[in-house]
Structure 1
Amino acid sequence: MGYFLFGFIIFLGLIILVTGIFTVKQQTAAVVERFGKFQSIRNSGLHLKIPLVDRIAGRINLRIQQLDVIVETKTKDDVFVRLKISVQFKVLQAKIYDAFYKLENPQDQITSYVFDVVRAEVPKMKLDNVFERKDDIANAVKAELNDAMIDYGYDIIKTLVTDIDPDVQVKAAMNRINASEREKVAAEFEAEAERIKIVAKARAEAESKRLQGQGIADQRREIARGLEESVDVLNNVGINSQEASALIVVTQHYDTLQSIGEETNSNLILLPNSPQAGSDMLNNMIASFTASNQIGEEMKKQNKLKGITPKKRNKPTPPKQNPDDNDPEYRSEE
């Protein structure tokens, strides 16, 4: 009988030891009740409680927690959009009692406040402003939650708008607008590059034409100088200027025929090209020069008969009251 009682005492002691000793993890608090009434809050470490009298009503996590809330609402320009709000919160060390006993489900409470704030702020903004002012939305959510949750022992650390997801059709339209804008910018750059090429090409062509014209002018100047020297040489041997000019032209004509004959792949045909053509050309040019001189002399005689001298040929002057016959300006030949 004594052994049985001793064994029972030892067994009872073990039960009391097992049920009366408990541990609390780091960043965790345990709420102890005695007969259903709050008794104490135990922080991390090893603790004792009275078996069958005290019980652990619950444990509170003191670490920072995150709650993701997805809210669907409408913007000012009637676009439905889904926002993902991430709320980071923790239980205040000094208000563990309030956090445990005042709220049945703190996550649902936080979610309700997030919905209320987002659906009050976003309808005031257009879709573009929602993207630009997402920090304002997050700050508004944090301010509202802090005012509401501080009385329940919860501290709101940070609120973040982590995602903004408009309707699928709206996103497709935005992508098309974006693509059009980028194509417009690309077209402007391409047009500017093409304009630069055209301007550079035009400047190069203008410079080429200028140099080409200068070369032609120099060439003609040298040709004229050579012709002048040739005329002087021919004048020295008794050939007048008209005959010399005609002879030079005929000589150039035959030189051209010779150059054409040397080019085997040339398709140029010079007309006339008969042997008699050179003689006809020379005679025609001499006759043309002679007729031109005769016409010039005749015009001079007619001008003299009209009383016009070369100095006043195109500017007739009214006669003087007593013209002097010796004045060359008003002398007329009979």
Structure 2
Amino acid sequence: MNYGLYIGIFVAFVILISSFVTVKQGTIAVVTVFGKYRRLLRPGLSLKIPLIEAIHSRISIQNRSVELSFQAVTQDQANVYFKAMLLYSVLDQQEETIKNVAFKFVDATNLMQALIRTIEGSIRAYVATQRQANVLSQRHEIVEHVKHQIDPVLESWGYHLQDLQLNDITFDEEIMRSMSKVVASHNLKAAAENEGQALLITKTKAAEADGNAIKIAATAEREAAQLRGQGIALFREEVAKGMTQAALEMESAKLDISVILFTMWTESIKQFAENSEGNVIFLDGSTEGMNKTMREMMAMQIDKLKNGN
């Protein structure tokens, strides 16, 4: 009798204990009665009917991630290797959504297999319409295409695609080498163009500087020539004034004006002799030649005096 009481007390204790259920934070428990959905249990301590209600599954509402690694073929028959990271979660915490998640697939393994294969198929279908040269620059377009194609399917399963990151996109080794050569050739071309532009700018600036220097030198030379011409003109003017004054004085003194010309002739010969610096100057020193020169100089002087008067 005592053993039966102890057994009864033990069974009652076990039943009482089994009526308490603890649900962790970030998890929702799905309760069934004889295999049929009954209700949900939220995080915390809850009660259930012992031996009648059972915990069918515990659904995590936290974000979950999975890594993908697969191959696709482009339109021009190039193999592309993808490594991606998928982030997904339960769509929301509403009862219908949780029921869908709990009973849509047999278990989590089947869900994961369907999810991975669906995403891989969507990416392969997109890559098959693109050429190999365009794939690397279309990461964003690929992700947007997958989200657009996958979101309706996942929502029908009770899930939502949070993010898809294509961490690595590679090709066959031969294609990678050819792509590296193309990039290197483009870089060399760009470097040559930049060097040519720099050289053109340098040459242009140097030519502009030379042109400006020539202009400045020409301007300075023109101004110097003008000053030299003005100086010579002033010198000649003063000489003419002096000679005119001397001629007038000699004429008033009734002296022969040819004396001035003879003096200029002798002074010129003297200057030639003193400052010739090794040069040879031939002068006609004969009486006839001297008379001819004197007559020409006197004629020139007479013309100047007439023009001056």
Scaled to the shorter chain, the TM-score interval is: 0.5 to 0.7
Other-structure match for 1:102: 104
Unaligned 5+ residue runs, structure 1?
258-271, 298-334
Report whether the alignment pairs 1:238 with 2:260.
yes
Report whether the alignment pairs 1:155 with 2:164.
no
Among the aligned pairs, what percent are the same residue?
21
Other-structure match for 1:283: 283
Q: Report matched runs for 1:1-334 at 5 Å.
A: 1-2=1-2, 4-36=3-35, 38-92=37-91, 93=94, 94-103=96-105, 104=107, 105-166=110-171, 168-218=176-226, 220-222=228-230, 224-225=232-233, 228=236, 232=240, 238-239=260-261, 243=265, 247=269, 250=272, 253-254=275-276, 257=277, 272=278, 280-281=280-281, 283=283
Q: Note the C-alpha offset of 1:194.
A: 0.4
Q: Note the C-alpha offset of 1:21.
A: 1.5
- Report the count of equivalent residues: 268
With 180-189 and 244-253 compared, the bigger mean Cα shift is at 244-253
| Residues in 2 aligned to 1:241 and 1:69: alpha-carbon distance in whole angstroms | 118
Q: TM-score, normalised to structure 2's length?
A: 0.67
Q: Helix, strand or coil for the counterpart of 1:41?
A: strand
Higher helix share: 2
Q: TM-score, normalised to structure 1's length?
A: 0.63
CA-to-aligned-CA distance 1:209-233 (integer Å, 9 cap, x gap): 2134224413541563366358645
Cα-Cα RMSD? 3.9
Alpha carbons of structure 1 residues 83 and 250: separation in structure 2 relative to 1, 3 Å? farther
Q: Note the C-alpha offset of 1:162.
A: 4.8
| Residues in 2 aligned to 1:245 and 1:96: alpha-carbon distance in whole angstroms | 130
Alpha carbons of structure 1 residues 106 and 170: separation in structure 2 relative to 1, 3 Å? farther
Q: Note the C-alpha offset of 1:83.
A: 3.6
Tell me the amino acid that sits aligned with residue 145 of structure 1: I
Tell me the amino acid that sits aligned with residue 203 of structure 1: G
| Residues in 2 aligned to 1:205 and 1:241: alpha-carbon distance in whole angstroms | 48
Q: Note the C-alpha offset of 1:111.
A: 1.3
Q: Note the C-alpha offset of 1:135.
A: 3.0
Q: Retained in 2: the 8 A contact 1:29–1:60?
A: yes
Q: Helix, strand or coil for the counterpart of 1:239?
A: helix
Tell me the amino acid that sits aligned with residue 72 of structure 1: Q
Q: Retained in 2: the 8 A contact 1:24–1:46?
A: yes
| Greater relative contact order, per chain length (Cα 8 Å cut-off, separation 6+) | 2
